[in-house]
């Protein structure tokens, strides 16, 4: 990771975006003046940009004043460069970069996945997601399918055709979603109990359920490491992150800070943003232990490197 020159944090609780020294973790610059409130993060190091949605001042399923902006952050100059107005689409949340170079972002209250051209910073299309509770999304490795997680269903979208194909039912409501490196299994995070639903993408149904060991309450966000050797899952209510091997045969729960949310990998380390106490915890992945932690704003939901 010698090419890492910076670290960025989305301080949801402080309504700020932070730039940190990737070695000392000291806050070097703070960007202020955002509408409530900054959620989620997409970092594109190749173009020196990051994207931060303004979701609104509520939470998933209860967001009475939804936002409509996607903020573009200039990583080189460390500035809030411009805003992309997504209207008429509102409550933007999870966003991913597609294989076609376009950004795909859930707009929860509008029941769509908006499609954004980064070269013009404009919305070029919107795909019906089939639900006003579509909070998070993931794109299959081959770029053929996009999946959104909502209340007790996963919507399946044909990405090249930008068409909703149907829904896959899950036993309970969902909080997060990711997909295996081979694209054969969608991992849907149970919002009610500490379990994962493993969805066979070819069959279009839940194939297995995995209990999170040593985690007393439901989890939130799931993310594979860049080398695909570990799946990390945070449990906001349990203050823990689970490290799971790709076969789901082995897992370890590591205690972190208050209300852990999203994560970022750097080499053999996992950085866990804990919005409840303003800490970021650094987990040693091979040793399955919490190495140390540092303060970053009032409460970061997401962190990333560039």
Q: How far apart are CA 31 and CA 285, in angstroms?
A: 31
Which residues neighbour 143 within 8 Å (Cβ) at sequence distance 6 or greater? 98, 99, 100, 159, 160
Which 3-state string (H, E, C) describes 81-118? EEEEECCCCCCEEEEEECCCCCEEEEEHHHCEEEEEEC
Nearest CA to 269 among 1, 3, 43, 18? 1
Sheet order of strands, 145-149 included: 136-139, 145-149, 153-158, 163-169
Burial (CB < 10 A; 0-12, 13-18, 19+), residue 208, is exposed
Q: What is the DSSP string of 251-269?
A: EEEEE-SSSEEEEEEETTE
Q: Are 53 and 22 in contact (CB under 8 A)?
A: no
Q: How far apart are CA 171 and CA 18, in angstroms?
A: 38
Q: What are phi and psi of 47, to 5 degrees?
A: -110, 5
Q: What is the pTM of this model?
A: 0.97
Q: What is the DSSP string of 14-81?
A: TTEEEEE-TTT--EEEEE--PPS-B---EEEGGGTEEEEEEEESSBTTB-SSEEEEEEEEETTTTEEE
178 sits in which H/E element: strand 174-179
Q: Residue 1 has what pLDDT?
A: 47
Per-residue tens of pLDDT for the chain, all 306 residues = 458 999 999 999 999 999 999 999 999 999 999 999 999 999 999 999 999 999 998 777 677 889 999 999 999 999 999 999 999 999 999 999 999 999 999 999 999 999 999 999 999 999 999 887 788 999 999 999 999 998 899 999 999 999 999 999 999 999 999 999 999 999 999 999 999 999 999 999 999 999 999 999 999 999 999 999 999 999 999 999 999 999 999 999 999 999 999 999 999 999 999 999 999 999 999 999 999 999 999 999 999 999
- Cα-based distances in Å from 293 to 24, 60, 284: 11, 28, 12
Q: What are phi and psi of 290, to 5 degrees?
A: -85, 115
- Cα-based distances in Å from 222 to 27, 119, 138, 190: 27, 30, 10, 11
Q: Are 73 and 17 in contact (CB under 8 A)?
A: yes
Q: Residue 161 has what pLDDT?
A: 98
Q: How far apart are CA 259 and CA 93, in angstroms?
A: 18
């Amino acid at each position: 990771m010698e090419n890492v020159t910076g670290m960025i944090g989305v301080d949801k609780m402080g309504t700020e975006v932070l730039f940190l020294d990737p070695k000392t973790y000291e806050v070097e610059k703070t960007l202020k003046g955002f509408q409530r409130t900054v959620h989620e993060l997409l970092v594109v190091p190749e173009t020196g940009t990051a994207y931060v949605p303004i979701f609104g001042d509520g939470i998933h399923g209860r967001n009475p004043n939804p936002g409509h902006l996607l903020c573009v952050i200039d990583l080189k100059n460390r500035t809030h460069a411009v805003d992309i107005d997504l209207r008429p689409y509102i409550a933007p949340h999870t966003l991913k970069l597609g294989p076609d170079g376009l950004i795909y972002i859930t707009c929860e209250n509008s029941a769509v996945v908006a499609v954004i051209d980064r070269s013009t910073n404009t919305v070029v299309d919107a795909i019906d997601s089939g639900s006003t509770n579509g909070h998070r999304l993931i794109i299959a490795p081959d770029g053929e399918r996009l999946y959104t997680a909502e209340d007790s269903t996963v919507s399946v979208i044909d990405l090249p055709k930008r068409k909703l194909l149907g829904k896959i039912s899950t036993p309970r409501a969902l909080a997060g979603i990711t997909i295996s490196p081979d694209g054969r299994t969608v991992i849907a995070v149970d919002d009610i109990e500490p379990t994962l639903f493993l969805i066979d993408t070819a069959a279009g149904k839940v194939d297995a359920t995995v209990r999170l060991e040593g985690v007393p309450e439901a989890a939130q966000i799931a993310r594979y490491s860049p080398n695909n050797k570990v799946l990390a899952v945070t449990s906001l209510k349990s203050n823990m992150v689970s490290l799971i091997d790709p076969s789901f045969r082995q897992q370890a729960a590591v205690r972190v800070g208050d209300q852990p949310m999203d994560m970022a990998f750097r080499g053999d380390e996992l950085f866990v943003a804990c919005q409840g106490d303003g800490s970021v915890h650094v987990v040693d992945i091979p040793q399955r232990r919490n190495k140390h932690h540092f303060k970053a704003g009032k409460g970061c939901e997401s962190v990333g490197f560039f």
